[in-house]
Amino acid sequence: MSATLAEIFSTARTQGRAALIGYLPAGFPTARGCVQLMAAMVAGGCDIIEVGLPYSDPLMDGAAIQQAVGQALEAGTTPDVVLDVVRELSELNVTSVVMSYWNPIERYGVQRFAERLRAAGGQGVITPDLTPEEAGDWMAATDVTGLSRIFLVAPSSSDLRLAKVSSVSGGWVYAASTMGVTGARTQLGDAAQVLVERTRAYTDLPIAVGVGVSTGDQAADIAKFADGVIVGSAFVKAVLDSPDIEAAVDAVKSLAAELADGVRR
Amino acid sequence: MTVLGGPDGHYGIYGGRFVPEALSAALDQLDAQFRNAIVDPSFVEQLAALERDYSGRPNPLTFAAGFSQHCGGARVYLKREDLNHTGSHKINNVLGQALLTVRMGKSRMIAETGAGQHGVATATAAALMGLQCTVYMGEDDTVRQSLNVARMKLLGAEVVPVTIGSRTLKDAINETMRDWVASVEYTHYCLGTVTGPAPFPEVVRYFHSVIGREARGQILAVEGRLPDAVVACVGGGSNAMGLFSGFIDDQGVGLFGFEAGGDGVETGRHASRFATGAPGVLHGARTYVMQDEWGQTLPSHSISAGLDYPGVGPEHAYLHDSGRATYESVNDQEAMDAFALLCRTEGIIPAIETAHGLAGAIRIGKRLGPDGLIVVNLSGRGDKDVATAARWFGMDLGSGLEASEGR
């Protein structure tokens, strides 16, 4: 049985480190291949896998993830494929959450999606374009199923909004490191640290930082003040740059190892 | 005037604000500045002066005697938004949002554009007010609307061709949103239609409500009564919402919106959201969306770049469900027939977007018969569409025009 989000963050804290969360879209590069890659990410040191639900209009995502979800959609990846990936991860005792834009969940049926994800062993959902104000049905469905609602906070969030967002979040609070879309940045400013510190005033939940993190050094910097480090585009890029699935497996595993070393420094 | 967009920006179940948290602060700021501005006499006067002295408002309501003869004898009037500076209704919204941009202390405007009319209007207002300007335009649209690309560049705007996805308006909006998330501190997203996250649908409708206000006064003055129907094309729906807003409380006035039927609704190649779409969330708002069974947005298709969009303004979705407004499809062929008819009967070359509304007026006129009275929004002029129209009608333009159209 895979560990809960709370157990993972608690274990990491005991070990004096941040948790490492790695993202890949389901169905990228294929339905079977993505599970292989995700397993390799865990073998390399990821604590949690964030399974992306491919969507046609990912307006929070940069070029690498756009390309990857485009491939996944062309390969026919549906929400049911995403649920299958989560189920396979659970069978491997891997803890996972889903990252999804709102429309596919609404179209699937909010309650139905929550129930099926829970049954598949998913622990929570990150919703990048859903804020608490529009989340009435989602609150109800996640309350019933016990799924964690992982909302985002951003450097531009007012104190009022930090309080509001964290008060309804579960699992962890997702802090966007910079103002911008996903994708590797050579430099991350101090906005992430300021945001994490501001958010701590309103919640005891773990706070994980994502958007723009791609190297072990960056992971090490963030691990000094955050409870989790989230890496997406860098894994996607490692796959895009690999000539075949075997090379991709090696590439994501070694990137995960570098990041896992970073969060332990 | 009925204002359905409450403080939370919902129209029944539609509208709302489905955006990354990073944009919440900017949307709150826009909301506050907008509400503050529209009750500030100096803002209201500034906007009115620009509309009068710069856009050329009020524009006329023209009786279309020749065109009316093809509309079942109903009397058809044209609200002449094509005579505004920059050649379409788009300038109404853009001048208002440019003033808000300055008021918010921001130095840059960004915009999406389909046909290029909104891009041109935004570039124009940016030049006028000394703002930087970047316009995102689907690569396919930069080809079919190359004249407008040149206009934007002449006005000092940067035009970014969007090469991902379907390379049309939908993808241009995605890219503009991505720019905005990263630049929101000094940038205002001058959204060009009555959709997107709250408060955009309400803001854009407010700045276009001058269309309906003028048209209502003008038709009463000349005909002594309200029209039986007001008619407009509907892409995102800003020209329609501007016209409808003047008549929405007049229960006897039918509100008719015409969306693009493309090759025909039955072919799947169209932009008829109400005919085939279902409620969903796209670009920050809940509305009717062309989508597959899994909630993936479907590509739209229309000869008109400005109507080639798989979503529609949330207030239109509300008006549709409530039955207050009626939406029908007009395919490429019907639109181009109406385009030709207006050229020949009135000496006015309409935008191809607008031609969908004209085709709708013909249809409604035949239903109403000789006692009918119709106001149709002539939302834009057709200079930008000359090359497309020439190809459609199989005209030989010679190499001169081909070259000037930049293909």
Nearest CB to B22; choose among A58, A78, A179? A179
CB-CB under 8 Å, A130 with B16: no
- The minimum CA-CA distance between B382 and chain A, rounded to whole Å, is 31
d(CA B145, CA B148): 6
> What is the Cα–Cα distance from A80 to B199, expressed in whole angstroms?
35
Residue B54 DSSP code: I
Q: What distances in angstroms separate CA B243 from CA B89, B356, B384, one per listed residue?
A: 10, 15, 23
**Strand order in B278-282's β-sheet?**
B10-11, B14-15, B285-289, B278-282
Strands A148-150 and B285-289: unpaired
- With contact defined as beta carbons under 8 Å apart, do B36 and B193 qualify? no
* pLDDT average, residue stretch B202-209: 98
Name the nearest CA neighbour of A177 among A198, A161, A153, A159. Answer: A153
Cα–Cα distance, A27 to A34 (Å, whole number): 6
Q: Residue-wise over B151-168: b if at least 16 C-beta within 10 A, else e?
A: bbeebebebbbbeebbbb
> Is the CB of B25 less than 8 angstroms away from the CB of A156?
yes
Query: Which sign does the torsion angle of CA B125, B128, B131, B136 carry?
Result: positive
The 10s digit of each residue's pLDDT in B218-239 is 999 999 999 999 999 999 999 9
- Would the CB atoms of B284 and A60 count as touching at under 8 Å? no
Q: Residue A109 gets which letter from DSSP?
A: -
Concerning whether B112 is annotated as a catalytic residue, the answer is yes
Could B21 and A131 be called an inter-chain contact, meaning their C-beta atoms sit closer than 8 Å? yes
DSSP 8-state class, residue A142? H
What range does the domain containing A251 cover?
Answer: 5-263
Q: What is the pLDDT of residues B125-165, one digit of tens each?
A: 999 999 999 999 999 889 878 889 999 999 999 999 999 87
ipTM over 0.85: yes
Task: Provide the pLDDT for residue B400.
Answer: 52
Please report residues of A whose CB lies closer than 8 A to that of B160: none
Burial pattern B70-96, b for ≥16 Cβ within 10 A else e, equals bbbebbbbbbbbbbbbbbbbbbbbbbb
Model confidence at B7, pLDDT cuts 50, 70, 90, reads: low
Inter-chain contact B25–A158, Cβ cutoff 8 Å?
Answer: yes
Exposure class string for B203-218: b at 16+ Cβ within 10 A, else e:
bbbbbbbbbbbbbbeb
Name the stretches of chain A with pLDDT < 50. none
Task: Return the amino acid letter for B83.
Answer: L
Q: How many CB pairs under 8 A join A and B?
A: 112
Whole-angstrom CA distances from A109 to A15, A114, B15, B143, B400 are 40, 8, 19, 40, 56
Residue B404 has pLDDT above 80, yes or no: no
Subunit contact A154:B21, Cβ cutoff 8 A: yes
Res B6: pLDDT:
54
Distance from C-alpha of B381 to C-alpha of A228, rounded to nearest angstrom: 55
Alpha-carbon distance B156 to B141, whole Å? 19
**CB–CB contact A56 B185 (8 Å):** no
- How far apart CA B49 and CA A1 sit, in angstroms, is 69
> In chain A, what is the straight-line distance between the N-terminal and C-terminal CA atoms, in Å?
29
- Relative to beta strand B254-264, strand B229-233 is parallel
Two structure tokens written together for B367 = 């239903």
The domain that holds A220 is classified in CATH as: 3.20.20.70
pLDDT above 70: residue B407:
no
Q: Is the pTM of this model over 0.80?
A: yes
- Looking at residue B399, its pLDDT comes to 57
Residue B379 appears among annotated catalytic residues: yes
Which residues lie below 8 Å from residue A13, measured CB to CB, with a gap of 6+?
Answer: A227
Strand-strand pairing, B325-331 and B61-63: unpaired
Chain A residues near residue B186 by CB distance under 8 angstroms: none
Phi and psi angles of residue B159, each rounded to the nearest 5 degrees, phi first: -110, 120
Q: What is the band of B3 on the pLDDT scale with cuts at 50, 70, 90? A: very low
What is the pLDDT, as a whole number, of residue B406? 37
Please tell me which residue, B405 or B330, carries the higher pLDDT value.
Answer: B330
Nearest residue to A182 via CA among B22, B265, B114:
B22
Residue B35 pLDDT exceeds 80: yes
Give the per-residue pLDDT at B388.
92
Chain A positions touching chain B (beta carbons under 8 Å): 55-60, 62, 66, 70, 73, 78-79, 102-108, 128-131, 133-134, 151-158, 161, 165, 176, 178-181
Q: For residue B282, which of B300, B301, B295, B292 has the smallest C-alpha distance?
A: B295
CB pair distance less than 8 Å for B296 and A73: yes
Mean pLDDT of chain B: 94
**What are the angstrom distances between the C-alpha of A22 and each of A45, A187, A231?**
9, 20, 5
pLDDT of B276 above 90: yes
Please report the pLDDT score of residue A189 as a whole number.
79
Q: What is the pLDDT of residue A78?
A: 98
**What does the pLDDT look like over B318-337, one tens digit per residue?**
999 999 999 999 999 999 99
Burial class (CB in 10 A: 0-12, 13-18, 19+), B169: buried
Place of tokens 């979705």: B317
Distance CA B90, CA B361 (A): 21
Q: If you measure CA to CA, which chain A residue comes closest to B181?
A: A180
Q: Is A50 a catalytic residue?
A: yes
Asked if residue B379 lies in contact with residue B357, where contact means CB atoms within 8 angstroms, the answer is yes
Domain count, chain A: 1
Name every residue in B having a CB less than 8 A away from some CB of A: 8, 16-26, 28, 164-165, 170, 174, 177-178, 181-185, 278, 280-284, 289, 291, 293-297
Chain B: give the shortest CA distance to residue A112, in Å: 13
Chain A residues close to B294, C-beta within 8 Å = 78-79, 104, 107-108
**Nearest residue of B to residue A59, measured between CA atoms:** B174
pLDDT of residue B403: 40
Judged by DSSP in three states, A214 sits in coil
Going by their DSSP bridges, the two strands B61-63 and B75-79 should be labelled as antiparallel
Instruction: Report residue B398's pLDDT band, with 50, 70 and 90 as the boundaries.
Output: low
